[in-house]
Amino acid sequence: MADYTKFVFDEIRRIGKAWTDKNGDGTGVYDIEQLFEKIGEMSWRRLVDNKTVRTILQEIGVNPADYGEDISVIENPNFKPLNEHPRFGMTIAGILIGHNHDIDETLKRFIDCGVNYSSINLINADRSGTGIHPFTRLPDGKWDLFKWDNRYFERLIEIKEKFNKAGIVIPWCFLELYSWSARKDGPQQVGTFWRNNVNGVFWPPDDSTLTRLLPDLWCKEFIKKVCPLLDLHVNMFRIGNELPEKSLHERIRNEVRAVVPGALIDVNRQDDTPGQYRNMKIGQDYDFISLHGARLKELDDLRNPFEGGPYDTFQEFIDDESRHDKWRVTFSSDGARTNTYDRNGKLLTSKDSADNPYDWNKLGEFADHMIDLGYGFEQQSRAKMTQAPNHHMIEVDWMNKRHEHKNT
Rg (CA), the chain: 22
Residue-level pLDDT at 307: 83
Residues facing residue 324 across a β-bridge: none
Residue 138, C-beta contacts closer than 8 angstroms, at least 6 positions apart: 144, 198
Q: Identify the H or E element spanning 152.
A: helix 150-165
Separation CA 116–CA 287 (nearest Å):
18
- Are 343 and 388 contacting, i.e. CB atoms less than 8 angstroms apart? no
Residue-level pLDDT at 268: 95
CATH class of the domain at 88-407: alpha beta
Q: Would you kindly state where each structural domain of the chain is located, as residue ranges?
A: 3-71, 88-407
Residue-level pLDDT at 188: 84
Separation CA 345–CA 253 (nearest Å):
38
Report the mean per-residue pLDDT for the chain.
81
Residue 220 CB neighbour total at 10 angstroms: 15
- Among 34-43, 138-147, 288-297, name the most confident range: 138-147
Higher pLDDT, 54 or 261: 261
Q: What is the mean pLDDT of residues 81-88?
A: 66
Question: What number of helices (H) and strands (E) belong to the chain?
Answer: 13, 10
pLDDT digits (tens, 9 = 90+) for 192-203: 999 999 999 999
| Spatial CA neighbour of 136 closest among 126, 128, 188 | 126
Look up residue 177 and give its amino acid: L
DSSP code for 118? -
Q: What is the mean pLDDT of residues 161-187?
A: 91
Q: What is the mean pLDDT of residues 373-394?
A: 81
pLDDT digits (tens, 9 = 90+) for 209-250: 999 999 999 999 999 999 999 999 889 999 999 999 999 999
Look up residue 85 and give its amino acid: H
Residue 369 has pLDDT above 90, yes or no: yes
Residue-level pLDDT at 13: 66
Separation CA 5–CA 13 (nearest Å):
13
Residue-level pLDDT at 293: 74
Residue-level pLDDT at 392: 81
Residue-level pLDDT at 131: 86
Q: Identify the H or E element spanning 244.
A: none
Residue-level pLDDT at 404: 77
Residue 266 has pLDDT above 50, yes or no: yes
DSSP code for 92? -
- Confidence band, pLDDT 50/70/90 cuts, at residue 270: confident
Separation CA 332–CA 337 (nearest Å):
13
- Confidence band, pLDDT 50/70/90 cuts, at residue 341: very low
pTM: 0.78
Q: Is 260 helix (H, G, I), strand (E, B) or coil?
A: coil
- Confidence band, pLDDT 50/70/90 cuts, at residue 67: very low
Q: What is the mean pLDDT of residues 367-386?
A: 87
Between 31-40, 201-210, 225-234, 263-272, the lowest mean confidence (pLDDT) is in 31-40
- Confidence band, pLDDT 50/70/90 cuts, at residue 44: low
Look up residue 275 and give its amino acid: G
Q: Is 339 helix (H, G, I), strand (E, B) or coil?
A: helix
Residue-level pLDDT at 152: 97
pLDDT digits (tens, 9 = 90+) for 158-167: 999 899 888 8
Separation CA 280–CA 148 (nearest Å):
33
Q: What is the mean pLDDT of residues 47-72?
A: 58
- Confidence band, pLDDT 50/70/90 cuts, at residue 50: low
Terminal C-alpha separation, the chain: 38
C-alpha distances in Å from residue 36, one per residue of 32, 45, 198: 6, 12, 48
Residue 253 has pLDDT above 90, yes or no: yes
